[in-house]
């Protein structure tokens, strides 16, 4: 029977529940759709024939059933006596071909995922749908979130040369849970993007009309996806599944859990390698959505860049070496001025340098990397390096996003400078090379603090961009420690003497931003950062007055127990490691302030009652007495746990421990590990100016 007679003749009676098109039934083949929204099945699409339903009375293309969308919405968002899973199960019986499950097609390099058995992953879909908040909650929250979160996550999967038009394409189906996808991977993507958007709302904001607080909804959506989809190896194999893992990593980063982000990025690296993304021309990935604009080379670059940055901040090894296949060559990167990609290569070299045991070889490699960093600055116009300007810009505008992204790229670059020169900053000598490293750290720290302060003043409400807070913390500690060390020199030989007050004001301003974040978000991390920086400022002020100016100088010091490394003593007379006998000497009742997380910190010489967050002059948002009491309670939360910090087992938090168990997420280990290389027993060779240049 030909197609004409088949269409014009009286339709044959079909079985109830049949969804095959006429062509597939005539050929006796399975009728499958690559996407739930496709208007033509795979067979008809390949043969170029018209895809017509065989249901009696229907004379149009097979298309995505609007009733299906409405049914899913009613099931997941409406109110009913039955559970979502029960209703969705009934829907599957009615529309079995609409649920997408992975199955390899015959396309060679990159393949599309065809429809297989409708119940293959139905349990995962049921569970995810049951986590979705009511329709009314989603409508309210969609009115509260802006576009910046979408642009932020879009930019992670676009080349830096992408136009503004590419970034402004709002993938409404990817984040609007009013129309949930049927495939568990695509539904998980919707949920992750929605949770990421909720991170841009202050956790203390009270949104009327919600069935539960918005931050609870955010956590439930994200953790459900992580538990059921992104960590499910059976769903790994498509580019969309890999995208979900990357989105999870960025969710952790914006939430301040850098260690968990690093673990997730390691999983993303493994998944990308399984899909062949590290070998251009030999890709083995599949696609669920025919209209996906994901580019494997950009995804690979994004994963490697962020994994290396997290590895550097945490002092952990990277999973990919310096010579990484799939990354554009240096000349091409220089031509496109892709700063993150260029910095990614430099990050790998710094990680390699940090593993060297030979001081002379490390010094030589440091000089080479330093020249590469200087070369990067010449690849971009001078206007790129200007401080960000947010005045006159709307918070949720494309202009604000572009300016924020430029500031972030700059902060990452200057962080590489500080990480490169940290091992030499605290060397006890004052050789020209040491001074060079110290000045490089100081200048880079100023640039980081200036940009983070500008961003927090522009938008202090959102709790995301916590990675920027970590970078600012490192910069503030570096700048203050550099001044403490410089006071051991004669004032006439101290190159930082004229910048001292300006630098203190900058650190105090950053301290004010951290305090404001704690006040708004009840953030333990910000409170402890503020406490530590305040103590360092007190020590720096005492060191600036000179020896003998303060009767309590001998007792006025900050003792830090760093996990895996030992104790370090920061005092007005300098910075040095502590011996076991010195550590034992200070053991006992705690008369100072002990903090967990950065190891443990105990500030000797001041009483907790005298430690008031409003003491530092020039800090905005001065706290009330009630706020001071709350800060004291936050700082004393881990008091009993910190009293035992002298034993190693109490210094090693679990890899998946909550954020409060290790306040600086391991950033402290990497920071003080680099510092103690310069003040420990194995000194690096003398640095001199010719060797550095």
pLDDT score recorded for residue 271: 94
Domain presence at residue 269: no
Domain presence at residue 1: yes
Shared domain for 129 and 81, answered yes or no, is: yes
**489-504 pLDDT, tens per residue?**
776 778 888 899 999 9
pLDDT score recorded for residue 166: 58
Residue 13, domain extent: 1-64
Res. 32: pLDDT tops 60: yes
Domain presence at residue 603: yes
Shared domain for 26 and 75, answered yes or no, is: no
Domain presence at residue 179: yes
Q: What is the mean pLDDT of residues 522-532?
A: 68
Shared domain for 634 and 646, answered yes or no, is: yes
Shared domain for 55 and 138, answered yes or no, is: no
Q: Report the share of the chain in percent with pLDDT over 90.
A: 20
Q: What is the mean pLDDT of residues 563-579?
A: 71
Q: CA nearest 35: which of 232, 240, 272? A: 240
pLDDT score recorded for residue 373: 94
The length of the chain in residues reads: 693
pLDDT score recorded for residue 391: 85
Shared domain for 478 and 569, answered yes or no, is: yes
Largest CA distance in the chain: 107
Q: Residues 6 or more apart from 518 whose CB is under 8 A from it?
A: 524, 526, 527, 530, 631, 634
Instruction: State how far the Cα of 179 lies from the Cα of 187, in Å rounded to an integer.
Output: 10
Q: CA nearest 639: which of 585, 586, 593? A: 593
Instruction: State how far the Cα of 132 lies from the Cα of 691, in Å rounded to an integer.
Output: 61
Q: Which residue has the higher pLDDT, 652 or 485?
A: 485
Number of domains in the chain: 3
pLDDT score recorded for residue 41: 83
Shared domain for 94 and 229, answered yes or no, is: yes
**594-608 pLDDT, tens per residue?**
333 333 445 554 433
Domain presence at residue 352: no
Parallel/antiparallel/unpaired status of strands 593-596 and 574-577: unpaired
630: enclosing H helix or E strand: helix 625-635
Residue with tokens 């065809």: 114
The SS3 call for residue 594 is: strand
**129-167 pLDDT, tens per residue?**
999 999 999 999 988 887 766 677 666 666 555 555 555
Shared domain for 58 and 91, answered yes or no, is: no
pLDDT score recorded for residue 655: 44
With bands split at pLDDT 50, 70 and 90, how would you rate the model's confidence at 264?
A: very high
Shared domain for 542 and 645, answered yes or no, is: yes
Q: CA nearest 353: which of 365, 345, 371, 342? A: 365
Q: What is the mean pLDDT of residues 177-188?
A: 89
CA 617-621-623 angle, to 5 degrees, is 85
Domain presence at residue 555: yes
Domain presence at residue 300: no
**98-112 pLDDT, tens per residue?**
333 333 333 334 455
Q: How far is CA 119 from CA 18, 74, 89, 122, 141, in A?
A: 16, 20, 9, 5, 32
Alpha helices in 206-337 (DSSP H): 214-225, 239-255, 258-274, 296-314, 330-336
Q: Measure the N-to-C terminal CA separation of the chain; round to a whole number of Å.
A: 83
Domain presence at residue 355: no
Find the Cα–Cα–Cα–Cα dihedral 651, 656, 657, 663, rounded to 10°.
70
pLDDT score recorded for residue 43: 77
pLDDT score recorded for residue 244: 94
pLDDT score recorded for residue 128: 93
Q: Among 214, 233, 252, give the residue marking a domain's end.
A: 233
Shared domain for 42 and 83, answered yes or no, is: no
Q: Residues 6 or more apart from 583 whose CB is under 8 A from it?
A: 559, 561, 566, 567, 646
pTM, 2 dp: 0.72
**430-454 pLDDT, tens per residue?**
778 888 988 999 999 999 999 999 9
Q: Among 233, 268, 301, give the residue marking a domain's end.
A: 233
Shared domain for 422 and 439, answered yes or no, is: yes
Instruction: State how far the Cα of 613 lies from the Cα of 516, in Å rounded to an integer.
Output: 11
Shared domain for 47 and 135, answered yes or no, is: no
Phi and psi at 288, nearest 5°, equal: -90, -40
Q: Residues 6 or more apart from 112 whose CB is under 8 A from it?
A: 34, 42, 105, 286, 287, 288, 290
**388-418 pLDDT, tens per residue?**
888 888 877 888 888 888 888 999 999 999 9
**In sequence order, what E strands does 523-596 have?**
557-562, 566-571, 574-577, 593-596
Shared domain for 669 and 563, answered yes or no, is: yes
């Amino acid at each position: 029977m030909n197609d004409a007679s088949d269409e014009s003749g009286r339709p044959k009676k079909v079985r109830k529940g049949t969804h095959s098109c006429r062509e597939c039934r005539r050929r006796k083949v399975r009728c499958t759709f690559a996407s739930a929204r496709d208007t033509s099945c795979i067979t008809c699409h390949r043969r170029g024939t018209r895809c017509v339903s065989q249901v009696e009375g229907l004379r149009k293309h097979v298309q995505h059933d609007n009733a299906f969308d409405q049914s899913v919405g009613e099931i997941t968002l409406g109110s009913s006596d039955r559970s979502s899973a029960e209703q969705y199960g009934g829907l599957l019986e009615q529309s079995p071909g609409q649920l997408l499950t992975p199955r390899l097609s015959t396309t060679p390099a990159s393949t599309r995922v065809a429809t297989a058995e409708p119940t293959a992953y139905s349990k995962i879909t049921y569970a995810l749908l049951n986590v979705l908040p009511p329709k009314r909650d989603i409508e309210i929250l969609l009115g509260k979130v802006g576009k910046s979160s979408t642009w932020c996550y879009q930019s992670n999967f676009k080349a830096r040369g992408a136009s503004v038009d590419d970034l402004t394409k709002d993938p409404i189906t990817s984040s609007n849970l009013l129309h949930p996808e049927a495939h568990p991977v695509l539904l998980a993507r919707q949920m992750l993007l929605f949770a990421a958007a909720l991170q841009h709302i202050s956790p203390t904001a009270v949104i009327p009309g919600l069935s539960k607080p918005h931050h609870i909804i955010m956590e439930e959506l994200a953790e459900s996806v992580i538990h059921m989809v992104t960590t499910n190896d059976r769903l790994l194999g498509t580019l969309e599944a890999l995208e979900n893992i990357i989105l999870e990593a960025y969710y952790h980063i914006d939430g301040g859990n850098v260690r968990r982000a690093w673990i997730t990025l390691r999983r993303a690296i493994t998944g990308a390698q399984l899909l062949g993304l590290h070998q251009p021309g030999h890709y083995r990935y599949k696609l669920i959505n025919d209209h996906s604009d994901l580019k494997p080379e950009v995804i690979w670059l994004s994963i490697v860049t962020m994994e290396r940055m997290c590895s550097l901040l945490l002092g952990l090894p990277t999973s990919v070496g310096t010579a990484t296949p799939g990354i554009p060559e240096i000349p091409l990167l220089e031509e496109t001025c892709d700063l993150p990609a260029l910095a990614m290569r430099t990050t790998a070299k710094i990680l390699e340098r940090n593993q060297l045991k030979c001081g002379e070889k490390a010094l030589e490699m440091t000089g080479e990397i330093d020249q590469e960093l200087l070369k990067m600055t010449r690849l971009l116009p001078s206007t790129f390096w200007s401080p960000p300007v947010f005045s006159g810009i709307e918070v949720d505008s494309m202009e604000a996003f572009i300016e924020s992204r430029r500031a972030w790229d700059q902060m990452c670059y200057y962080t590489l400078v500080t990480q490169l020169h940290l091992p030499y900053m605290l060397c006890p000598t004052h050789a020209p090379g040491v001074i060079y490293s110290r000045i490089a750290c100081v200048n880079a720290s100023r640039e980081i603090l200036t940009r983070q302060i500008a961003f927090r003043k522009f938008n202090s409400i959102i709790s995301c961009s916590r990675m920027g807070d970590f970078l600012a913390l490192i910069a503030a500690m570096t700048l203050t420690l550099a001044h403490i060390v410089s006071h051991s020199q004669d004032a006439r030989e101290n190159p930082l003497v004229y910048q001292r007050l300006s630098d203190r004001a900058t650190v105090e301003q950053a301290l004010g931003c951290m305090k404001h974040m704690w006040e708004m978000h009840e953030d333990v991390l910000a409170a402890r950062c503020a406490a530590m920086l305040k103590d360092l400022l007190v020590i720096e002020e005492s060191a600036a007055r000179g020896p003998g100016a303060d009767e309590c100088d001998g007792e006025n010091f900050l003792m830090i127990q760093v996990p895996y490394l030992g104790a370090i003593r920061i005092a007005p007379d300098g910075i040095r490691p502590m011996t076991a006998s010195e550590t034992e000497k200070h053991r006992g009742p705690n008369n100072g302030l002990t903090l967990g997380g950065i190891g443990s910190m105990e500030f000797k010489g001041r009483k907790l009652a005298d430690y008031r967050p409003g003491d530092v002059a020039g800090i905005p948002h001065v706290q009330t007495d009630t706020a001071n009491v709350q800060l004291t309670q936050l700082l004393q939360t881990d008091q009993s746990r910190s009293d035992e910090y002298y034993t190693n087992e109490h210094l090693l938090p679990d890899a998946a421990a909550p954020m409060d168990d290790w306040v600086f997420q391991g950033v402290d280990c990497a920071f003080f590990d680099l510092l103690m290389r310069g003040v420990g027993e194995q000194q690096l060779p003398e640095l001199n100016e010719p060797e550095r240049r």
